[in-house]
Amino acid sequence: MTDVLDTVAVSPAGSRGPQASAAESNGGEQPLRTAVVRAAELARDAEDHARERQHAKGKKTARERLDLLFDTGSFEEIGRFQGGNIQGGNAGAAVITGFGLVYGRKVAVYAQDFSVKGGTLGTAEGEKICRLMDMAIDLKVPVVAIVDSGGARIQQGVAALTQYGRIFRKTCEASGFVPQISLILGPCAGGAVYCPALTDLIIMTRENSNMFVTGPDVVKAATGETISMADLGGGLVHNTVSGVAHYLGEDESDAIDYARTVLAYLPSSADSQPPTYAYAATRAERDTAKRLATIVPDNDRQPYDMLDVIRCIVDYGEFVQVQELFGASAVVGFACIEGKPVGIVANQPNVRAGILDVNSSEKVARFVRLCDAFNLPVITLVDVPGYKPGSDQEHAGIIRRGAKVIYAYANAQVPLITVVLRKAFGGAYIVMGSKAIGADFNFAWPSSQIAVLGAAGAVNIIHRHDLNKAKAAGQDVEALRAKYIKDYETSTVNANLSLEIGQIDAMIDPEQTREVIVQSLATLATKRRVKRTTKHHGNQPL
């Protein structure tokens, strides 16, 4: 519960509150102590100072950010003056902690205040953050971190670094139990970067948002390389190149709105189910489902946009992408099916034919793990020609990093539903939510192709001697190859083989896809987790 001191201090616009004005104007029954009035003045002055410093840089104050994050008037601050000295004119620590509502559900937050000692972290800040995280774990509510900090407070030395260690450990304790989202709205450097790196989602902005272990000055001194902060660790770099971030906001308001949106799909903790929303089917949506029959080209080498397919399947066509700018040959994100949140994983034929590479593999694996941790069913839409070939992929660790997809799907215990739209070849077919790896239901469209290799590639291997002989004899090699390809497609690539051996549960028409997914989710609604061994944990490829 907020005490009198906090209540006065956080009154709107830094005012002294109704109790203070009543006491001064008519000698009310409950006059406030001088210290309380002084605290309110400090709070008001601190916010005025924050506005001056932050607005000059095109940034919002920590409290303005909280106003955007939470439902109006719902923020309740804790430890307002912890680390401060009211009589000495010190308003408190460089971090704000508390709870508020996001779409009516409680969320914990800590927001670093760059206007106070550059937002640096010392003993008081670390204690406030750790206390908040302990409460969030006890209350089973998500944690949002708003990061805008100069790092560890150098004046406190090892004491400041120790607080980072404590926060790391708390973040790991909360991982997979309550959702954790990091908003990087300013600098985040040195060891401080590992606080957000341990959370579920990192959101950055195009301007003012930076993350790096060593800054440009240190890089230049150590290596001679001259590079800007944006090019070294800006929001665009981490969304497109490194994959560290999951969303690039156009500005702070956009970034915070994305955090609110994501929280709307996630449960408060692993012990609860995701929220559900009212949904009523309309004729327009049934007509939209029929469009699926026209989106995917008959030519299996012709690209199309998987997002068009997803929008025809999910409620109201609403799909919230995660890591949209990274590993773009795969698409992952949140949607609802009849008002119930789900995770969507799909190949993207518009980008390198939807092939799996090191980046898209890690993107898929991480997202499946997120969904499994927080009880979201995973819908997998498959159109994959295989893994990207080449020495660059092998040297980048496609074996180790591709294995993460296997680990994610094989260990997931939420409902898993897979639909093969067009092609699913080789190991990529197996790892993309196949029946063999643990999916509950697998479906395929009539034109789908499932095999070890595509027909052309398989014929070139299986019939290479026949083709060489035909060439030596002066025969029409291409005509013979075409015949072999047609025979292979009929006998092997056809999805009927997978249907006959039980790896596909049913062949469905494209326009049936949403209906079949809805029915499957209803069937799997009572699926529960089972602990099959007594192991402490698996040794995941990392």
What are the catalytic residues? 190-191, 427-428
244-259 in b/e form (b: 16+ CB < 10 A) is bbbbbbebbeebbebb
Q: Which residues contact 325 (CB under 8 A, 6 or more apart)?
A: 239, 240, 248
AA letter at 369: R
437-450 in b/e form (b: 16+ CB < 10 A) is bebbbbbbbebbbb
Write the DSSP assignment of 3-34 as a string of letters: -HHHHHHTSGGG--HHHHHHHHHH--SSPPPH
Structure tokens at 279: 């949904």
CB 344 within 8 A of CB 350: no
As a whole number of angstroms, the distance between CA 451 and CA 424 comes to 7
CB 288 within 8 A of CB 245: no
As a whole number of angstroms, the distance between CA 439 and CA 432 comes to 9
Inter-axis angle of helices 455-462 and 464-472, to 10 degrees? 70
Q: For the chain, how many residues are written? A: 542
Write the DSSP assignment of 201-255 as a string of letters: EEEEESSS-EEESS-HHHHHHHH-----HHHHHBHHHHHHTS---SEEESSHHHH
Query: What letter would DSSP give residue 387?
Result: B
Query: What letter would DSSP give residue 440?
Result: S
Positions of E strands within 320-409 = 320-322, 330-337, 340-347, 378-384
Nearest to 76 by CA among 142, 9, 30: 9
Nearest to 213 by CA among 254, 164, 251: 164
Over its C-alpha atoms, the chain yields an Rg (Å, rounded) of 28
- Residue 292, SS3? helix
- Residue 49, SS3? helix
User: Cβ-count burial of 424 within 10 angstroms (0-12 exposed, 13-18 middle, 19+ buried)?
Assistant: buried
CB 443 within 8 A of CB 504: yes
Structure tokens at 122: 């010392």
Beta bridge partners of 417: 379, 441
Nearest to 495 by CA among 440, 439, 419, 431: 419
